[in-house]
Amino acid sequence: MITTRNLLASLLLASCLVLLAACSPTADTPDQADTPADDESGDDGATERLERLRLAGGDYGPPTPFAYVRGPGLIQTGLMFDTLLWMNPDGETIPWLAEDWESNEDGTEWTFTLREDVEWHDGEPLTVDDVVFSFDYLTAGPPGISTRDLDIVDEVVAEGDREVVFRLSEPYAGFEDNVAGLWGMFVLPEHIWADVEDPQRYLEEDAFVGSGPYELVEFDASAGSYLYEANDDFFLGEPHVQRLEFLPEIEDELLALERGELHAAGVSREPLPDEQFESFASQFGLVEASGEWNHALHFNLDAGFPYDEVDFRHAVAYAIDRQDMVDRLLFGRGAPGSTGAMAPDHPFTPDDLPAYEHDLERAGELLDGLGIEDADGDGVRELPDGEAFQIDLKSSQRFGARDPQLVAEYLGEAGLDTQVTMLDRASADEAGHEGNYTMMLHGYGGLGSDVDRLRTRFHSEAESSGQSTVHGYADERFDELAEQQRGIVDEQERREVVAEMMHILAEDLPLLSLYVPDRLTFYDESVFDAWAYTPTCTPCGATKNKYTFVTGE
- In three state form, how does the secondary structure of 331-388 look? CCCEEECCCCCCCCCCCCCCCCCCCCCCCHHHHHHHHHHCCCECCCCCCCCECCCCCE
pLDDT one-digit tens code per residue, 185-199: 999 999 999 999 999
State the pLDDT at residue 94: 93
H runs (alpha helix) in 194-344: 253-258, 274-283, 310-319, 322-329
pLDDT one-digit tens code per residue, 391-412: 999 999 988 899 999 999 999 9
CA distance 56 to 544: 10
State the pLDDT at residue 458: 96
Would the CA dihedral through 178, 183, 189, 192 be positive or negative? negative
The answer to whether the CB of 132 falls within 8 A of the CB of 161 is no
What's the average model confidence in pLDDT over 488-509? 95
Nearest Cα residue to 115 out of 86, 137, 78: 86
What's the average model confidence in pLDDT over 487-507? 95
pLDDT one-digit tens code per residue, 287-315: 998 888 899 999 999 999 999 999 999 99
What's the average model confidence in pLDDT over 330-351? 95
H runs (alpha helix) in 4-113: 7-10, 70-77
State the pLDDT at residue 464: 64
Q: What angle do CA 529, 516, 61 make, to 5 degrees?
A: 65
* Among the ranges given (125-139, 302-316, 495-509, 529-543), the one the predictor scored with the smallest mean pLDDT: 529-543
What's the average model confidence in pLDDT over 232-247? 95
* Among the ranges given (59-63, 293-297, 502-506), the one the predictor scored with the smallest mean pLDDT: 59-63
pLDDT one-digit tens code per residue, 147-172: 767 989 999 999 999 999 999 999 99
pLDDT one-digit tens code per residue, 193-235: 999 999 999 999 999 999 999 999 998 878 889 999 999 999 9
C-alpha pair distances (Å), 9 with each of 4, 192, 202, 215: 11, 19, 11, 20
Residue 324's contacts (CB-CB under 8 Å, 6 or more residues apart) are: 358
CA distance 272 to 541: 17
Q: What percentage of the chain exceeds 90 in pLDDT?
A: 69
CA distance 186 to 191: 15
What's the average model confidence in pLDDT over 40-67? 77
* Among the ranges given (147-151, 222-226, 325-329, 510-514), the one the predictor scored with the smallest mean pLDDT: 147-151
DSSP state of 203: -
Does residue 45 have a pLDDT over 70?
no
The answer to whether the CB of 488 falls within 8 A of the CB of 500 is no
The answer to whether the CB of 256 falls within 8 A of the CB of 107 is no
CA distance 322 to 262: 34
H runs (alpha helix) in 97-166: 128-140
State the pLDDT at residue 463: 74
Question: N- to C-terminal Cα distance for the chain?
Answer: 32
What's the average model confidence in pLDDT over 70-91? 90
What's the chain's average pLDDT?
88
Q: Judging by beta carbons within 10 Å of its beta carbon (0-12, 13-18, 19+), is residue 253 exposed, middle or buried?
A: buried
State the pLDDT at residue 533: 87
| Strand order across the beta sheet in which 417-423 lies | 334-336, 511-517, 294-299, 439-444, 390-396, 417-423
What's the average model confidence in pLDDT over 448-458? 90
CA distance 39 to 472: 49
Please give the residue that has the higher pLDDT: either 445 or 186.
186
C-alpha pair distances (Å), 506 with each of 306, 322, 362, 402, 498: 18, 15, 17, 26, 12
Q: Judging by beta carbons within 10 Å of its beta carbon (0-12, 13-18, 19+), is residue 221 exposed, middle or buried?
A: buried
The answer to whether the CB of 243 falls within 8 A of the CB of 230 is yes
What's the average model confidence in pLDDT over 104-115? 94
State the pLDDT at residue 387: 96
What's the average model confidence in pLDDT over 70-89? 91
Please tell me whether the peptide bond between 347 and the residue prior to it is cis, using omega within 30 degrees of 0: no
State the pLDDT at residue 249: 72
State the pLDDT at residue 59: 85
Stated as kind and residue range, the H or E segment containing 211 is none
CA distance 292 to 378: 41
Q: What percentage of the chain exceeds 70 in pLDDT?
A: 90
Pairing of strands 519-523, 285-289: antiparallel
Stated as kind and residue range, the H or E segment containing 177 is helix 175-178
Does residue 471 have a pLDDT over 90?
yes
State the pLDDT at residue 312: 98
State the pLDDT at residue 35: 53
SS (H, E, C) 386-425: CCECEEEEEEEHHHCCHHHHHHHHHHHHCCCEEEEEEECH
pLDDT one-digit tens code per residue, 116-132: 999 999 999 999 999 99
Stated as kind and residue range, the H or E segment containing 429 is helix 425-434
Q: What angle do CA 267, 186, 82 make, to 5 degrees?
A: 70
Q: Kindly report the pTM of this predicted structure.
A: 0.78
CA distance 438 to 301: 8
SS3 527: coil
State the pLDDT at residue 36: 58
pLDDT one-digit tens code per residue, 92-109: 899 999 999 999 988 899
Does residue 428 have a pLDDT over 50?
yes
State the pLDDT at residue 146: 74
Does residue 359 have a pLDDT over 90?
yes
Q: Judging by beta carbons within 10 Å of its beta carbon (0-12, 13-18, 19+), is residue 151 exposed, middle or buried?
A: exposed
Angle at which helices 360-369 and 310-319 cross, to 10° = 160
State the pLDDT at residue 336: 98
Long-range contacts of 361-367 (CB under 8 A, 24+ apart): 362/315, 362/318, 363/315, 363/316, 363/318, 363/319, 363/414, 364/315, 364/414, 364/415, 366/311, 366/312, 366/314, 366/315, 366/318, 367/311, 367/312, 367/315, 367/414, 367/415, 367/416
299 forms beta bridges with 439
